[in-house]
Amino acid sequence: MIEAKKSLTILLASPRGFCAGVERAIQIVERALARYGSPVYVRHEIVHNRSVVEALEAKGAIFVEELDEVPDDRPVVFSAHGVPKTVPAEAARRHLLYLDATCPLVSKVHREAERHAESGRTVILIGHAGHPEVIGTMGQLPPGQVLLVEDVEQAESVAVSDPLNLAYATQTTLSVDDTVDIVAILRRRFPAIHGPKKEDICYATTNRQAAVKAIAARCDALVVIGAPNSSNSMRLVEVATNSGCARSRLLQRAGDMDWEWLGDNVRRLGITAGASAPEHLVEELIASCRHRYEVTIEEVHTSQEHVVFKLPRELVG
Protein backbone atom coordinates (compact mmCIF):
# COMPACT_ATOMS: atom_id res chain seq x y z
CA MET A 1 0.00 0.00 0.00
CA ILE A 2 1.39 3.39 -1.01
CA GLU A 3 1.64 5.73 1.94
CA ALA A 4 -0.21 9.01 1.41
CA LYS A 5 1.94 12.10 1.19
CA LYS A 6 1.83 14.47 4.11
CA SER A 7 0.49 17.93 3.43
CA LEU A 8 2.80 20.94 3.31
CA THR A 9 1.78 24.56 2.95
CA ILE A 10 4.48 26.71 1.37
CA LEU A 11 4.33 30.36 2.35
CA LEU A 12 6.03 32.09 -0.56
CA ALA A 13 7.39 35.53 0.29
CA SER A 14 6.85 38.25 -2.30
CA PRO A 15 8.79 40.21 -3.38
CA ARG A 16 11.76 37.85 -3.57
CA GLY A 17 14.63 37.12 -5.93
CA PHE A 18 16.12 39.38 -8.56
CA CYS A 19 16.16 43.14 -7.99
CA ALA A 20 16.52 45.79 -10.68
CA GLY A 21 20.27 46.17 -10.06
CA VAL A 22 20.89 42.45 -10.51
CA GLU A 23 18.74 42.28 -13.65
CA ARG A 24 20.63 45.25 -15.10
CA ALA A 25 24.03 43.71 -14.33
CA ILE A 26 23.14 40.40 -15.98
CA GLN A 27 21.74 42.21 -19.02
CA ILE A 28 24.97 44.19 -19.35
CA VAL A 29 27.01 40.98 -19.60
CA GLU A 30 24.54 39.37 -22.01
CA ARG A 31 24.37 42.46 -24.26
CA ALA A 32 28.14 42.83 -24.21
CA LEU A 33 28.45 39.22 -25.39
CA ALA A 34 25.91 39.88 -28.16
CA ARG A 35 27.65 43.10 -29.27
CA TYR A 36 31.33 42.23 -28.88
CA GLY A 37 31.29 38.44 -29.09
CA SER A 38 32.91 36.08 -26.63
CA PRO A 39 34.80 36.14 -24.48
CA VAL A 40 33.69 39.08 -22.36
CA TYR A 41 35.59 39.34 -19.10
CA VAL A 42 33.89 40.11 -15.80
CA ARG A 43 35.83 41.35 -12.78
CA HIS A 44 34.53 39.36 -9.79
CA GLU A 45 31.18 37.54 -9.75
CA ILE A 46 28.72 39.81 -11.54
CA VAL A 47 26.29 39.04 -8.70
CA HIS A 48 26.69 36.62 -5.80
CA ASN A 49 25.05 33.52 -7.23
CA ARG A 50 26.80 30.53 -8.76
CA SER A 51 23.82 29.60 -10.92
CA VAL A 52 23.91 33.04 -12.56
CA VAL A 53 27.69 32.95 -12.98
CA GLU A 54 27.64 29.47 -14.53
CA ALA A 55 24.87 30.46 -16.96
CA LEU A 56 26.90 33.45 -18.13
CA GLU A 57 30.06 31.34 -18.39
CA ALA A 58 28.15 28.99 -20.69
CA LYS A 59 27.41 31.99 -22.94
CA GLY A 60 31.05 33.07 -23.12
CA ALA A 61 31.76 35.19 -20.04
CA ILE A 62 35.07 34.71 -18.24
CA PHE A 63 35.20 35.70 -14.58
CA VAL A 64 38.46 37.02 -13.17
CA GLU A 65 39.57 38.57 -9.90
CA GLU A 66 41.72 41.42 -11.22
CA LEU A 67 42.26 43.43 -14.40
CA ASP A 68 45.71 41.97 -15.03
CA GLU A 69 43.92 38.78 -16.10
CA VAL A 70 42.07 40.65 -18.87
CA PRO A 71 43.75 40.86 -22.33
CA ASP A 72 44.04 44.30 -23.91
CA ASP A 73 41.72 43.53 -26.81
CA ARG A 74 38.64 42.27 -24.92
CA PRO A 75 35.90 44.12 -23.01
CA VAL A 76 35.57 43.85 -19.25
CA VAL A 77 32.50 44.36 -17.05
CA PHE A 78 32.69 45.55 -13.44
CA SER A 79 30.36 43.72 -11.05
CA ALA A 80 27.12 45.07 -9.57
CA HIS A 81 28.82 45.60 -6.20
CA GLY A 82 30.96 48.48 -7.42
CA VAL A 83 34.74 48.92 -7.56
CA PRO A 84 37.35 51.26 -6.06
CA LYS A 85 38.32 54.22 -8.22
CA THR A 86 41.67 52.62 -8.94
CA VAL A 87 39.99 49.93 -11.08
CA PRO A 88 38.45 52.13 -13.83
CA ALA A 89 41.58 54.30 -13.67
CA GLU A 90 43.73 51.26 -14.48
CA ALA A 91 41.30 50.17 -17.22
CA ALA A 92 41.51 53.64 -18.77
CA ARG A 93 45.31 53.62 -18.56
CA ARG A 94 45.35 50.36 -20.52
CA HIS A 95 42.72 51.66 -22.97
CA LEU A 96 40.44 48.74 -22.11
CA LEU A 97 36.81 48.82 -23.19
CA TYR A 98 35.05 48.60 -19.84
CA LEU A 99 31.39 48.55 -18.86
CA ASP A 100 30.33 49.45 -15.34
CA ALA A 101 27.51 47.24 -14.01
CA THR A 102 27.60 48.85 -10.55
CA CYS A 103 24.06 49.04 -9.19
CA PRO A 104 22.87 52.67 -9.43
CA LEU A 105 21.90 52.55 -5.75
CA VAL A 106 25.48 51.63 -4.87
CA SER A 107 26.74 54.43 -7.13
CA LYS A 108 24.47 56.78 -5.15
CA VAL A 109 26.35 55.85 -1.97
CA HIS A 110 29.66 56.47 -3.78
CA ARG A 111 28.53 59.97 -4.76
CA GLU A 112 27.35 60.70 -1.22
CA ALA A 113 30.75 59.70 0.17
CA GLU A 114 32.50 61.93 -2.35
CA ARG A 115 30.30 64.92 -1.51
CA HIS A 116 30.99 64.51 2.20
CA ALA A 117 34.73 64.31 1.55
CA GLU A 118 34.57 67.48 -0.55
CA SER A 119 32.92 69.18 2.44
CA GLY A 120 35.77 68.10 4.69
CA ARG A 121 33.88 65.36 6.52
CA THR A 122 35.15 61.96 7.58
CA VAL A 123 32.72 59.23 6.50
CA ILE A 124 31.68 56.37 8.78
CA LEU A 125 30.60 53.47 6.57
CA ILE A 126 28.27 50.94 8.17
CA GLY A 127 28.93 47.60 6.50
CA HIS A 128 30.75 44.26 6.50
CA ALA A 129 34.53 44.16 6.14
CA GLY A 130 35.73 42.42 3.00
CA HIS A 131 32.42 42.61 1.13
CA PRO A 132 33.02 43.83 -2.46
CA GLU A 133 30.51 46.65 -2.03
CA VAL A 134 32.33 47.92 1.07
CA ILE A 135 35.71 47.65 -0.67
CA GLY A 136 34.31 49.61 -3.59
CA THR A 137 32.76 52.33 -1.44
CA MET A 138 35.84 52.76 0.74
CA GLY A 139 37.89 52.90 -2.45
CA GLN A 140 36.09 56.06 -3.61
CA LEU A 141 38.08 58.15 -1.10
CA PRO A 142 41.73 58.35 -0.03
CA PRO A 143 42.84 56.02 2.79
CA GLY A 144 41.76 57.22 6.21
CA GLN A 145 38.77 59.25 5.04
CA VAL A 146 36.36 56.32 5.53
CA LEU A 147 36.00 54.49 8.85
CA LEU A 148 34.24 51.11 8.79
CA VAL A 149 31.74 50.23 11.54
CA GLU A 150 30.28 46.71 11.46
CA ASP A 151 28.11 46.49 14.57
CA VAL A 152 26.78 48.29 17.65
CA GLU A 153 29.94 47.55 19.64
CA GLN A 154 32.12 49.28 17.05
CA ALA A 155 29.63 52.14 16.85
CA GLU A 156 30.13 52.68 20.58
CA SER A 157 33.93 52.61 20.33
CA VAL A 158 34.82 54.21 16.98
CA ALA A 159 37.16 57.17 17.47
CA VAL A 160 36.97 60.22 15.21
CA SER A 161 39.30 63.20 15.01
CA ASP A 162 36.60 65.83 14.42
CA PRO A 163 33.08 65.01 15.68
CA LEU A 164 31.71 68.20 14.09
CA ASN A 165 32.75 67.14 10.57
CA LEU A 166 31.35 63.67 10.30
CA ALA A 167 28.90 61.76 8.08
CA TYR A 168 27.68 58.21 7.75
CA ALA A 169 26.71 55.98 4.85
CA THR A 170 25.69 52.32 4.71
CA GLN A 171 26.17 49.25 2.63
CA THR A 172 22.95 48.75 0.64
CA THR A 173 22.28 45.15 1.71
CA LEU A 174 22.29 45.34 5.50
CA SER A 175 19.65 44.32 8.02
CA VAL A 176 17.28 47.26 8.35
CA ASP A 177 16.78 46.63 12.08
CA ASP A 178 20.48 46.26 12.89
CA THR A 179 21.35 49.40 10.95
CA VAL A 180 18.74 51.46 12.83
CA ASP A 181 20.44 50.50 16.09
CA ILE A 182 23.92 51.42 14.80
CA VAL A 183 22.73 54.76 13.43
CA ALA A 184 21.02 55.56 16.74
CA ILE A 185 24.31 55.06 18.58
CA LEU A 186 26.24 57.21 16.11
CA ARG A 187 23.65 60.00 16.39
CA ARG A 188 23.76 59.85 20.18
CA ARG A 189 27.57 59.96 20.26
CA PHE A 190 27.95 62.49 17.44
CA PRO A 191 24.87 64.76 17.32
CA ALA A 192 26.29 66.79 14.42
CA ILE A 193 26.73 63.75 12.15
CA HIS A 194 25.32 64.05 8.62
CA GLY A 195 23.25 61.21 7.19
CA PRO A 196 21.80 60.46 3.76
CA LYS A 197 18.63 62.30 2.71
CA LYS A 198 17.16 58.88 1.93
CA GLU A 199 18.43 55.75 3.63
CA ASP A 200 21.17 53.88 1.74
CA ILE A 201 19.71 50.40 2.32
CA CYS A 202 18.15 49.67 -1.05
CA TYR A 203 14.46 49.20 -1.74
CA ALA A 204 14.94 45.53 -2.65
CA THR A 205 16.74 44.67 0.58
CA THR A 206 14.07 46.50 2.61
CA ASN A 207 11.18 44.87 0.72
CA ARG A 208 12.57 41.33 0.95
CA GLN A 209 13.16 41.69 4.67
CA ALA A 210 9.63 43.01 5.17
CA ALA A 211 8.20 40.06 3.23
CA VAL A 212 10.13 37.61 5.41
CA LYS A 213 8.89 39.34 8.57
CA ALA A 214 5.33 38.91 7.29
CA ILE A 215 5.59 35.12 7.09
CA ALA A 216 8.26 34.09 9.62
CA ALA A 217 6.05 33.73 12.70
CA ARG A 218 3.61 31.54 10.73
CA CYS A 219 6.31 29.12 9.53
CA ASP A 220 7.59 25.94 11.14
CA ALA A 221 10.74 26.29 9.02
CA LEU A 222 11.98 28.81 6.49
CA VAL A 223 14.45 28.56 3.62
CA VAL A 224 16.27 31.46 1.98
CA ILE A 225 17.60 30.59 -1.46
CA GLY A 226 20.84 32.42 -2.01
CA ALA A 227 24.62 32.25 -1.80
CA PRO A 228 26.66 32.23 1.42
CA ASN A 229 28.67 35.23 0.14
CA SER A 230 25.46 37.16 -0.61
CA SER A 231 25.00 39.77 2.13
CA ASN A 232 21.31 40.36 1.44
CA SER A 233 20.59 36.60 1.50
CA MET A 234 22.40 36.08 4.80
CA ARG A 235 20.51 39.02 6.30
CA LEU A 236 17.21 37.37 5.29
CA VAL A 237 18.12 34.30 7.37
CA GLU A 238 18.86 36.55 10.33
CA VAL A 239 15.62 38.48 9.88
CA ALA A 240 13.58 35.26 9.69
CA THR A 241 15.22 33.92 12.86
CA ASN A 242 14.67 37.17 14.72
CA SER A 243 11.06 37.45 13.51
CA GLY A 244 9.75 34.18 14.90
CA CYS A 245 11.11 31.27 12.85
CA ALA A 246 14.06 29.75 14.71
CA ARG A 247 14.42 27.02 12.07
CA SER A 248 15.68 29.18 9.23
CA ARG A 249 18.59 28.47 6.96
CA LEU A 250 20.28 29.36 3.70
CA LEU A 251 20.07 27.02 0.72
CA GLN A 252 21.89 27.45 -2.58
CA ARG A 253 19.54 25.20 -4.54
CA ALA A 254 17.07 22.34 -4.13
CA GLY A 255 19.74 19.64 -4.43
CA ASP A 256 21.30 20.94 -1.21
CA MET A 257 18.10 20.56 0.82
CA ASP A 258 18.48 18.53 4.01
CA TRP A 259 15.10 16.81 4.23
CA GLU A 260 15.95 15.35 7.64
CA TRP A 261 16.44 18.93 8.90
CA LEU A 262 12.96 19.73 7.62
CA GLY A 263 11.63 16.74 9.54
CA ASP A 264 8.19 15.17 9.79
CA ASN A 265 6.48 17.86 11.83
CA VAL A 266 6.82 20.79 9.47
CA ARG A 267 3.44 21.78 8.11
CA ARG A 268 4.25 25.32 6.96
CA LEU A 269 7.48 26.02 5.09
CA GLY A 270 8.49 29.57 4.24
CA ILE A 271 10.47 30.16 1.06
CA THR A 272 12.13 33.33 -0.17
CA ALA A 273 15.15 34.18 -2.32
CA GLY A 274 17.89 36.76 -2.06
CA ALA A 275 18.12 39.59 -4.57
CA SER A 276 20.72 37.76 -6.67
CA ALA A 277 18.91 34.39 -6.79
CA PRO A 278 16.95 33.55 -9.98
CA GLU A 279 13.32 32.46 -9.74
CA HIS A 280 14.02 29.08 -11.36
CA LEU A 281 15.82 28.06 -8.14
CA VAL A 282 12.62 28.77 -6.19
CA GLU A 283 10.61 26.73 -8.69
CA GLU A 284 13.17 23.92 -8.43
CA LEU A 285 12.74 23.75 -4.65
CA ILE A 286 8.94 23.80 -4.89
CA ALA A 287 9.10 20.93 -7.41
CA SER A 288 11.28 18.93 -5.00
CA CYS A 289 8.76 19.56 -2.23
CA ARG A 290 5.96 18.27 -4.47
CA HIS A 291 7.78 14.93 -4.82
CA ARG A 292 7.54 14.44 -1.07
CA TYR A 293 4.40 16.30 0.02
CA GLU A 294 0.96 17.34 -1.06
CA VAL A 295 1.85 20.97 -1.52
CA THR A 296 -0.39 24.01 -1.19
CA ILE A 297 1.12 27.36 -2.19
CA GLU A 298 0.19 30.56 -0.38
CA GLU A 299 1.97 33.57 -1.85
CA VAL A 300 2.20 36.44 0.63
CA HIS A 301 2.58 39.85 -1.06
CA THR A 302 3.81 42.79 1.00
CA SER A 303 4.75 45.24 -1.78
CA GLN A 304 4.99 45.65 -5.54
CA GLU A 305 8.23 46.53 -7.32
CA HIS A 306 8.37 48.43 -10.60
CA VAL A 307 11.96 49.71 -10.54
CA VAL A 308 13.95 49.49 -13.79
CA PHE A 309 17.49 50.83 -14.25
CA LYS A 310 18.82 52.06 -17.58
CA LEU A 311 21.62 50.21 -19.37
CA PRO A 312 24.91 51.93 -20.28
CA ARG A 313 24.69 54.00 -23.46
CA GLU A 314 27.24 51.77 -25.19
CA LEU A 315 24.79 48.84 -25.09
CA VAL A 316 21.59 50.63 -26.09
CA GLY A 317 20.41 50.64 -29.68
CATH number of domain containing 222:
3.40.1010.20
Residue 310 covered by a domain: no
Same structural domain, 229 and 184 = no
pTM for this prediction: 0.94
Residue 59 covered by a domain: yes
Q: What is the pLDDT of residue 30?
A: 98
Mapping DSSP onto H, E and C, the string for 143-186 reads CCCEEEECCHHHHHHCCCCCCCCEEEEECCCCCHHHHHHHHHHH
Q: What is the pLDDT of residue 138?
A: 97
pLDDT in tens, 173-211: 999 999 999 999 999 999 999 999 777 889 999 999 999
pLDDT in tens, 96-151: 999 999 999 999 999 999 999 999 999 999 999 999 999 999 999 999 899 999 99
- C-alpha to C-alpha distances, 198 to 109, 112, 155, 249, nearest whole angstrom: 10, 11, 21, 31
| CATH code, 86 | 3.40.50.11270
Residue 195 covered by a domain: no
Residue 28 covered by a domain: yes
pLDDT of residue 277 exceeding 70? yes
Same structural domain, 155 and 243 = no
* Contact status, residue 275 vs residue 208, Cβ threshold 8 Å: yes
Q: Which of 133, 153, 238, 279 is catalytic?
A: 133
User: Can you say whether residue 2 is alpha, beta or left, with left for phi > 0 and alpha for psi between -120 and 50 degrees?
Assistant: beta
pLDDT in tens, 139-150: 999 998 999 999
pLDDT interval class at 2 (50, 70, 90): low
Residue 316 covered by a domain: no
* Contact status, residue 44 vs residue 65, Cβ threshold 8 Å: yes
Same structural domain, 26 and 99 = yes
Last residue of one domain, picked from the residues 142, 158, 189 = 189
Residue 293 covered by a domain: yes
pLDDT interval class at 301 (50, 70, 90): very high
pLDDT in tens, 37-90: 999 999 999 999 999 999 999 999 999 999 999 999 999 999 999 999 999 999
Last residue of one domain, picked from the residues 154, 189, 224 = 189
Residue 313 covered by a domain: no
3-class DSSP state of 124: strand
Domain count, the chain: 3
Same structural domain, 92 and 57 = yes
Q: What is the pLDDT of residue 293?
A: 95
pLDDT of residue 154 exceeding 80? yes
Contacts of 80 (CB under 8 A, 6+ apart): 21, 22, 24, 25, 46, 47, 101, 102, 103, 106, 276
Q: Which domain holds residue 37?
A: 20-103
Same structural domain, 25 and 12 = no
Same structural domain, 208 and 156 = no
* Contact status, residue 230 vs residue 276, Cβ threshold 8 Å: yes
Same structural domain, 184 and 213 = no
Instruction: Report percent pLDDT > 70 for the chain.
Output: 99
284 is catalytic: no
Last residue of one domain, picked from the residues 73, 103, 133 = 103
Share the mean pLDDT of the chain.
96
Q: What is the pLDDT of residue 57?
A: 98
